Copies of this chain bind each other. A is one copy, B any other.
Amino acid sequence: MSEEPIPAPTQDRPWEAIDDHLEASELSKAAKVLDGLPGEEQRLAMAHLSGRSQATLVESLTPENAAELLERLPEAQAADILEDMSPEAAADVVEALPEETGADFLREMRAIESEALLAELDDPDEADNLRELTSYQWDTAGGLMTHAYAAFSETSQVGDVLNELSEEAERYADMDVQYVYVTDSEGLLRGVLRLRDLVLTPRSRPVAEIMLQDPVHVSVEDDFEKLRNTFEERNYVGLPVVAPNGLLLGAVTQKAVREATAEHQTEDYLHSAGILGGEELRSMPMLARCGRRLAWLAPNIVLNIVAASVIAVYEDTLQAVIALAVFLPIVSDMSGCSGNQAVAVSIRELTLGLIRPTEFLRIVWKEGILGMINGFVLGCILGTLAAIWKDNIYLGLVIGGALFLNTILSVLLGGCVPLFLKRLKVDPALASGPILTTCTDMCGFFLVLNLASAVLSKLT
């Protein structure tokens, strides 16, 4: 490889220089351009390369540099890159990653590719550890735990622990050790040692005498809600994770739980906008993006047709008073907006634990009154405009009345549907929107056209 100086990349679009080098098979030059960029620019550049180029580039880095780079990227992108790399090269990168991060990436990969990768790991124990971690749901104690913790047998002396900690200082520095766990000869969790107690105790005392017994711990199967509550109760930095039989399996940190909370919020947002199957990035293959978006749109078209079929039933009324056609989408859209606000408040209150999924009455009460007030205000505005436009007070009453009733209905529905879905264990962020829109559209069309049919003689 020649060592001629690399020309400075176009400051503005460094990914073009990288792509040019990759096309010319000048891998090390491409890697150097990437290396010369600050962190956020590296992420920007990677997002602008094709999936193939990303994988080629990462393969040309040292495993350590590749691992550092992947940690900066969105999980979905990192997993795609690992899938596109050769299993050997991908395995080298995973070995250079912190174990939990590796497990996060593996969990997002297709089973066949992640198995191929695991088979290439040099250390079979590491592969078993990763297999174990990926076997848990990402947001449970098992999925969020790390194997990087310090544990000692209850027969150890304080001096043993201190010696081991200082000899292996570097390894433990990575682990962010705040507590040391104590197990019995079977590996069952027996207690927890605070570092400060270790330092202040004569070195010959057995750790069993100074450990905190019956320490607070979480079960490997604890779901995210339980975990979040446990960490909120008191400000724990980390907690030991045990199997149902009491075996110490790992440790889960406050930081991991905090990150999972942020991820749940992101997921809520993406789901409510109709983005399924995890994060979508524009660097992903086009057909995969089309398919994932269609997976959401296709059921929606069915729901839309069902709702609009109400209009077909009332074709005669519409034919008689064609002005109604102008108000059909206004009434249904406005009620949809009101209902969506109620959905968002319910999802937030569920997430924050401010409401129980059984409290429908509270929603009916709190949203019902609000719906009457807002429905009245909006109904008056739209009804007045309709009456003035066609100089027909009855048209105003039909439109205003329909919007009033439909607003009440949609805030009630919008408030209750997330609770109902939560009880059915369906993700409220995902399904609330389509259910709500279909119902409010249908009812909106029905109300406008039915009220109009009732006073048809006054409208024509």
Chain A interface (Cβ < 8 Å from any Cβ of B):
38-40, 43-44, 47-48, 72, 74, 229, 232-233, 255, 258-259, 261-262, 265-266, 268-270, 272-275, 279-283, 286-287, 289-290, 293-294, 296-298, 300-301, 304-305, 307-309, 311-312, 315, 318-319, 322-323, 325-330, 332-334, 337-338, 340-341, 343-345, 348-349, 352-356, 362-363, 366-367, 369-370, 373-374, 377-378, 381-382, 385, 437, 441, 445
Contact = CB atoms under 8 A, between A and B. Distances in A.
B441 A329 contact: yes
A445 B193 CA distance: 69
Contact of A74 (B261, B275, B352): B352
A322 to B, nearest CB: 5
A422 B329 CA distance: 29
Contacts of A40: 229, 232-233, 353
A293 B333 contact: no
Given A39-B229, A40-B229, A281-B349, 6 more contacts: A275-B344, A286-B370, A293-B374, A297-B341, A304-B333, A312-B326
A33 to B, nearest CB: 18
A315 B304 contact: no
Contacts of A72: 232
Nearest to A289: B370
Given A353-B43, A362-B48, A300 B258 contact: no
A323 B314 CA distance: 10
A325 B318 contact: yes
A341 B275 contact: yes
A72 B381 CA distance: 41
A296 B344 CA distance: 14
A87 to B, nearest CB: 27
Contacts of A38: 233
Q: How many copies does the complex hold?
A: 2
A344 B274 contact: yes
Contacts of A343: 273
24 contacts: A43-B354, A44-B354, A48-B362, A255-B258, A258-B259, A262-B262, A265-B265, A266-B348, A268-B269, A273-B340, A273-B344, A281-B354, A289-B370, A296-B341, A297-B334, A297-B378, A301-B330, A301-B381, A304-B334, A305-B382, A311-B329, A312-B323, A325-B328, A329-B441
B309 A329 contact: no
A413 to B, nearest CB: 15
A308 B326 CA distance: 5
Contacts of A378: 294, 297, 301
Contacts of A318: 322, 325
A344 B437 CA distance: 18
A332 B362 CA distance: 34
Nearest to A315: B322
Nearest to A269: B269
